Amino acid sequence: MAPNKYLLVSLPTSISQSGDKDEALTALRSSVSTDNGTTVPFTIPEFKIGTLDALVQQADDLAKLSNACEAVVGKVGDSLRSILDGDEDKIEQQKTINDKPVDQYLRSFQWNKVKYRADKSIAELIDSLQKEIVGIDNDVKAKFNQYSSVKTNLAASQRRQTGNLSTKSLTSIVSPKSIIRDSEYLETHLVAVPNTIVKDFYKTYESLSDMVVPRSAQELAKDDEFTLFGVVSFKKVSAEFVHKAREARWIPRDYKYVEGGKEQEAKEVDSLSKEERKVWGEALRLGRTGYSEGAMIWVHVLALRVFVETVLRYGLPLDFVAGLVQTNAKLAKKVKSNLDGAYSYLAGNAIGRDKKGRAQKDDSAMQAELAAAHGGEDYTAYVYYEFEIVSHHRNGLQRAYQNQNQLFLDIFPLFRSPRLTEIVISHLCSYITETYPNLRQSISAIVCLEARGFFFAPVIASRLGLPVVPVRKKGKLPGDCVGVQFMKDYGADDFEMKTDAFEEIETGGKKVLLMDDLLGKGGSIMAAKGLCEKLNVKVAEAIFIFDCDGVPGYQQTVNKTLGGLKRYAMITLSTSNIGAPVN
């Protein structure tokens, strides 16, 4: 079944011969046709009307506020989807407005005169609605982030008990007798070696770095994927040994013997399980309330938008009828065509006509001018807005392919939707300006990573008035560069940045923002941070569209890799929601 699309239409009562509102609504129904959709009255009270200049500004403000409301409702829907693990039936049960199904609420809409008194000025109502939607966004985001953090910590604790030797806890595996403790000069390194290269390990570990104790390798444990070894070296070469171990595709494991550690880990898992259940309930309740309140605010914004545009379009005294048409995406085009044919005369000479008097759509120059005057939306001879409260879009990230050890993800489906792209850009711009109120005094530039970071970071930087500094693969930048090597799942790679990248940018006392599409295990973003630090530039934060914290095998690694680097992602991924539909 195709999702519902709603059309809000306002027409002067003069479309009927008598000028009666009921007859005008009947005329609208007739133009739409019952085969194409259901038309019901949409009651809008009369508000205080200010000056013409004020109305024009308010029309622009309401257009922006409507987009913001749509984004918030979508994000709350995304939060509900994550909380309910993508169960569509349960998700739809939570998506109500004032405890009514969405369709029922819209078809019986009445302006909430208690919360939004009609005797207030339009400017006051806009301010009130804006504050409420921002509050909902912040509350739901904070609670969902809390839930995501608890869930991630629980998953990490559980993986430490059940994962392979490269990730699981070593407390119950490594005997304190197997490691050197409290030595002034020697240290035991624990490394998880893929079973496929164990023979190479035995051949090379003694010469991996200086001062490795010969024949010190001791097999401590083995599973289907890895073998855990203990290797002894002098402490003075520990850092070099660990670095070269990673280059050899061995995974160094941190381990420190703690008395009673096994029992403590079991208590930690139990405590986190209880906290996760508690916060899950809180997040679900707040998500359900946030969706209801956010959608209600959005509909009130749309009602106010119709009123303001009606005054601007038809003038005073006010004598109009507003109707809500419930249809679907396919039939909406036919409804629009019918309305254009019936009411294009309301635009006078603004819309051309053919010899039979039908509205023409090919006057591109005129249409471009009219669209520019109406915030980029297609101009119509009457007041007309399309919207969807419950719609299903993909989150813009899909599985590209997967081999035995790595999952490769494709972000490009996101850019197929201009609406989703704009939501991402606007959301990240809002996050940055809210986090750094004195942006120009605290942030000097946005540093973006090759290659997918290049698609959106420059757009965000342009909107914020910040310069962009690129980080590219080795050999791609001209002139003198600084470089750094970092490890990926499937080998080493090199990033470079021009040595004069910040010469024309005022960096004194300021920091930069790092930006990429997706945070996996953190190697590339830390390489970019290292390049900035080589040029004496400090990093404030790393910002992403997607964060893989919920994907098994990533969270523990990325937290260890990033250390104390502050980070933010618009969407946290789990294995279940990669490529799943979200609002």
Residue 258: per-residue pLDDT: 72
Report CA Rg, the chain. 30
How confident is residue 354, by pLDDT bands cut at 50, 70 and 90?
low
Give the pLDDT confidence of 2-43 residue by residue, as tens digits: 568 899 999 999 999 888 999 999 999 999 998 999 999 999
Is pLDDT at 573 greater than 60 in this prediction? yes
How confident is residue 403, by pLDDT bands cut at 50, 70 and 90?
very low
Do residues 39 and 11 lie in contact, with contact meaning Cβ atoms separated by under 8 Å? no
What is the rounded CA–CA span in Å between residue 119 and residue 115?
12
Mean pLDDT across the stretch 421-428? 81
- Return the number of other C-beta atoms located less than 10 Å from residue 324's C-beta: 21
Q: What is the dihedral of CA 349, 351, 357, 361, to 10 degrees?
A: 160
Is pLDDT at 438 greater than 60 in this prediction? yes
Say which residue the tokens 């520990």 belong to: 238
Mean pLDDT across the stretch 503-510? 83
Choose the weakest-confidence range: 140-149, 218-227, 354-363, 365-374: 365-374
Residue 451: per-residue pLDDT: 79
End-to-end CA distance of the chain: 17
Say which residue the tokens 């490769």 belong to: 408
Residue 171: per-residue pLDDT: 82
Q: Residue 74 in 3-state DSSP?
A: helix
Give the pLDDT confidence of 521-571 residue by residue, as tens digits: 788 888 999 999 888 899 999 998 887 765 555 555 556 667 778 888 877
Do residues 452 and 400 lie in contact, with contact meaning Cβ atoms separated by under 8 Å? no
What is the rounded CA–CA span in Å between residue 442 and residue 142?
24
Residue 265: per-residue pLDDT: 74
Q: What is the dihedral of CA 187, 564, 463, 418, to 10 degrees?
A: 80
Is pLDDT at 375 greater than 50 in this prediction? no
How confident is residue 518, by pLDDT bands cut at 50, 70 and 90?
confident
Residue 522: per-residue pLDDT: 80
Is pLDDT at 366 greater than 80 in this prediction? no
**Taking all residues of the chain, what is their mean pLDDT, rounded to a whole number?**
83
Residue 44: per-residue pLDDT: 94
User: From residue 222, how far is each of 93, 171, 250, 256 by CA, in Å?
Assistant: 47, 15, 14, 20
How confident is residue 391, by pLDDT bands cut at 50, 70 and 90?
very low
Choose the weakest-confidence range: 128-137, 166-175, 347-356, 379-388: 347-356
Is pLDDT at 363 greater than 70 in this prediction? no
Residue among 295, 283, 279, 296 at smallest CA distance from 74: 295
pTM of the model: 0.60
Do residues 542 and 443 lie in contact, with contact meaning Cβ atoms separated by under 8 Å? no
What is the rounded CA–CA span in Å between residue 30 and residue 321?
14
Burial of 261 (0-12, 13-18, 19+ CB in 10 A): middle
Mean pLDDT across the stretch 263-287? 87
Is pLDDT at 284 greater than 90 in this prediction? yes
Is pLDDT at 446 greater than 70 in this prediction? yes
Structure tokens at 535: 């040029």
The length of the chain in residues reads 583
Q: Residue 372 in 3-state DSSP?
A: helix
Domains of the chain, start order: 50-164+269-317 (1.20.1460.10), 176-257 (3.30.70.100), 398-582 (3.40.50.2020)
What is the rounded CA–CA span in Å between residue 359 and residue 348?
11
The segment with the largest mean pLDDT, out of 290-304, 317-331, 349-363, 379-393, is 290-304
How confident is residue 231, by pLDDT bands cut at 50, 70 and 90?
very high
Give the pLDDT confidence of 111-145 residue by residue, as tens digits: 999 999 988 999 999 999 999 999 999 999 899 88
Is pLDDT at 575 greater than 50 in this prediction? no
Is pLDDT at 86 greater than 70 in this prediction? yes
Residue 257 or 409, more confident = 257
Residue 267: per-residue pLDDT: 83
Is pLDDT at 470 greater than 70 in this prediction? yes
Is pLDDT at 419 greater than 50 in this prediction? yes
Give the pLDDT confidence of 186-224 residue by residue, as tens digits: 999 999 999 999 999 999 999 999 999 999 999 999 998
Name the amino acid, one letter, at 445: A
Is pLDDT at 396 greater than 70 in this prediction? no
What is the rounded CA–CA span in Å between residue 424 and residue 384?
26
**Element (H or E) spanning 532, and its range?**
helix 523-534
Is pLDDT at 453 greater than 90 in this prediction? no
| DSSP annotation string for 250-315 | -EEE-----TTHHHHHHHHHHHHHHHHHHHHHHHHHHHHHHHHHHHHHHHHHHHHHHHHHHHHHH-
Do residues 44 and 303 lie in contact, with contact meaning Cβ atoms separated by under 8 Å? yes
Mean pLDDT across the stretch 155-169? 78
